[in-house]
Structure 1
Amino acid sequence: MTRLSAGEKPPQFILFSFDGVGVSENWDLFLETAEQSDARFSALMTGLYFLTDDNKHEYQGPRHAPGESSLAFGGTRVEVIEQIEYLNRTWYGGHEMGTHYVGHFCAGTRYPGRDWSTEDWDHELTQFFRLMTDWRELNNIRTGPDLAFGPEVVKGGRTQCLEGGMGELFPALGRHNMTWDSSKAAQKAGVYWPTKVGSIWEFPVPYVWSPPLQAQQTALDYNFWVSVNGGHDRRADSARIAKVVTGTYDYMFTRAFEGNRAPLVIANHLNDWNGNAFNPPTVRFMADKCAMAEVVCATYQDVIAWMELQDPAVLQQWTSRAPVAVDATR
């Protein structure tokens, strides 16, 4: 962490984050790749995975019945312990732990996150932190390791399906001493610097030009999937999906690195969607770019700390620059 001199370029930050982080071979793959390429990422935990299926009634989402959710819970006691082991491994690897909340109530379900009030988000976060701290007692688990970190390390996250308004969500984040969010699809095209809304730094999911698609695209793996084939599991499309992901990420990176140096948000899941079409190209992007000079693959808290260290006038010369990766020419 150093202060920029006048005329000095910022590092090109890349912010890899993973929604949900359930146990999978892809989690191993990113942990190993990050270690090899000196990268740090943000693991956004789903509260459901702290509860066994038998104890799902211990969670109650806003205006939902106890034990109701849109995703599966943590499975057996053995599976919950394995989840804790992976979370610890991630923490000890130097990565950031954030939240992906709990029930995953998206549009199409009864009372989805887009309709929640500040009190609803506050309730959901209270539920998340209770599951995180009390998972042993709630599941009557006496074996395996303790969770290696506490709620105080969780400073931000991403809501389910990018839902929830800033006016409702951000006050709840503040009540829980959180400082950042990466839930909003960008309000304007391109890659640009994060902004502070009240006490919360907002890192939007980029909406950029995608050369392979020849169209504007929200740069989230699920959204790529919908754009390519409507979100259908067609293995024949896997190679094309990989080319879309690689081509879009490379374009975003080149424009930012050569232009405004805005932090690059890479929003991803560990899911094996469409024959695991998304994770291998994202792993290759991590391995290729994080090893480059002037590139720092960091966490949201890292970037906030770096920005707050800078001379405001020097930093403003960069943060005021126009978005890049807006279209085929800029």
Structure 2
Amino acid sequence: MKRWGWLGTAVALALTLVVLAVLGVREPAPGHDVGELAAPLPMAPRTTSSSASPPPTVPAATSPPAWMRRMQPGEKPPQFVLFSFDGAASKPHWDRIMPLAKAANAHVTGLLSGVYLVPDQDAATYTGPGHDQGDSSIGFGGSRADVALRIEYLNAAIDAGHEIGTHYNGHFCVGDEPNVGMWTTEQWNSEIDQFFGIVDKARQQGFKLDPAAVRGGRTPCLEGKWDQAFPAMRGRGLVYDTSHVSLGVVWPSVQDGVWEFPMPEVRVPALGKQVVMMDFNLWYALNGAKEQPEKAPEFTRIVLDTYRSVYQAALNGNRAPVVIGNHFNEWAGGAFSNAVEGFLGEVCVRAETVCATYTEVIQWMQLQDPVVLEQLRRIPAARN
């Protein structure tokens, strides 16, 4: 059974600010949308200050856009907005995102669950660490024809300049033990190796994804024992993670040799509450994640107002990249898909704004004076 979950967060004592749950969610199998509520999940970690590890690097852009350059003294950075989608295996959603992104000169990141490239009849070729052969909490890729179609539309996304990262494979969260929050480095090595093995097999069927272009991802339900997970990520060539949470919008920092792009915990103006800015978290804050499609227009408006408020706080503040985490879903009558698609079309065309992939932001940071980047990181978090 697919299950939803919520993650408890701590009280910000200095501000006497009660923060809502950081919610973990299992994205549905391709073409499906709803699941069951889960037991509480552990708290997603707040990102910490930079470690002493040197920043990992990526190859420079081969055909850099005009904004991909070193800033002049006193110049403000672009206001980056990073749209990312867990699972990344829904053709109807890619079909909507692609033309919107093209019109707005935007790139997005799809965080692919590897099992969606494995036909159901080949499920036994995957064994999640500590789990039975052929077991996956989110199912597999359907028929061979389904997988072939998926490769086709993911290729179109790659050709359009969008990034494909990893959401790993079997999506084992609390309740499906051993969950990813318990895994050792050896178990993470197995999971990541199997992801790349799945990609390699799909490449034999025409998948254009270069394994070297998979540079990071988000863990299932934001879970992970990080002193075990990060060494495996580094060892398999991954340079970024986007599973942690920050209070407000902050600049990426290096955590144990990996760039961490945290999702911000923000204020939802209509609710007066703090929520992690991810679609399911927002849904849970609005009505406990109940299906009320008749409220779709209201929910879309509230989420759009939240996105706008956070964007404006960052633009007028530290200019840190705004990370918007999503799933390809039609929850609550499509309220959250409508909000993120509307915001993408609205914000990515604005002056000084760049809607980019994680790799593109890293490439931009590599061009900057490290002293300037450190000064940016020391600016207080942007709070809406």
Q: CA deviation at 1:272?
A: 1.5
Q: Does the CA contact (< 8 Å) of 1:6 and 1:314 recur in 2? A: no
2:155 to 88, 95, 101: 88
1:117-196 equivalent positions in 2, closer than 5 A: 117-135=184-202, 146-186=206-246, 189-196=247-254
Amino acid at match of 2:239: T
Q: Does the CA contact (< 8 Å) of 1:23 and 1:82 recur in 2? A: no
Matched, 1:279 2:337: yes
Amino acid at match of 1:295: T
2:294 to 228, 236, 240: 236
Distance 1:136 1:252, change over 3 A: closer
Q: CA deviation at 1:79?
A: 0.3
Residue aligning to 1:112: 179
Amino acid at match of 1:65: D
1:1-330 equivalent positions in 2, closer than 5 A: 1-135=68-202, 146-186=206-246, 189-325=247-383
Superimposed CA distance per residue, residues 192-222 of structure 1 (whole angstroms, 9 cap, x where no aligned partner): 1111113210001111111122111100111
Q: CA deviation at 1:321?
A: 0.2
TM-score normalised over the length of structure 1 = 0.93
Residue aligning to 2:45: none
Amino acid at match of 1:208: V
Distance 2:363 2:294 in 1: 44
Distance 1:135 1:291 in 2: 35
Distance 1:256 1:202 in 2: 18
Amino acid at match of 1:19: D
* Count of matched residue pairs: 317
Distance 1:238 1:200 in 2: 38
Q: Mind listing any 5+ residue stretches in structure 1 that lack a counterpart?
A: 138-144
Distance 2:239 2:203 in 1: 28
Distance 1:182 1:323 in 2: 17
- The structure where helix makes up a greater share of residues is 1
Amino acid at match of 1:44: L
Q: Mind listing any 5+ residue stretches in structure 2 that lack a counterpart?
A: 1-67
Q: CA deviation at 1:115?
A: 1.3
Superimposed CA distance per residue, residues 124-177 of structure 1 (whole angstroms, 9 cap, x where no aligned partner): 11111111111477xxxxxxx601122111000011111113212111111111
Amino acid at match of 2:252: P
Distance 2:270 2:322 in 1: 19
Distance 1:37 1:107 in 2: 39
Distance 2:112 2:86 in 1: 7
- Aligned to 1:208, the other structure's residue is in SS state strand
Q: Does the CA contact (< 8 Å) of 1:212 and 1:243 recur in 2? A: no
Q: Does the CA contact (< 8 Å) of 1:210 and 1:216 recur in 2? A: yes
Amino acid at match of 1:151: P
Query: Structure 1 residues 161-170 or 94-103, which shifts more?
Result: 161-170
Amino acid at match of 1:93: A
Amino acid at match of 1:154: V
Distance 1:147 1:302 in 2: 22
Distance 2:301 2:174 in 1: 29
Moved over 4 A (4+): none
Amino acid at match of 2:181: R
RMSD: 1.3
- Aligned to 2:263, the other structure's residue is in SS state coil
Amino acid at match of 1:196: V
Distance 1:244 1:101 in 2: 31
Distance 1:165 1:135 in 2: 29
- Aligned to 2:245, the other structure's residue is in SS state coil
Distance 1:70 1:316, change over 3 A: same
Q: CA deviation at 1:233?
A: 1.7
Superimposed CA distance per residue, residues 91-148 of structure 1 (whole angstroms, 9 cap, x where no aligned partner): 00001110011001112222211111111111111111111111477xxxxxxx6011
Amino acid at match of 1:6: P
- The percentage of counterpart residues that share the same residue type is 42
Q: Does the CA contact (< 8 Å) of 1:12 and 1:262 recur in 2? A: yes
Q: Does the CA contact (< 8 Å) of 1:20 and 1:45 recur in 2? A: yes
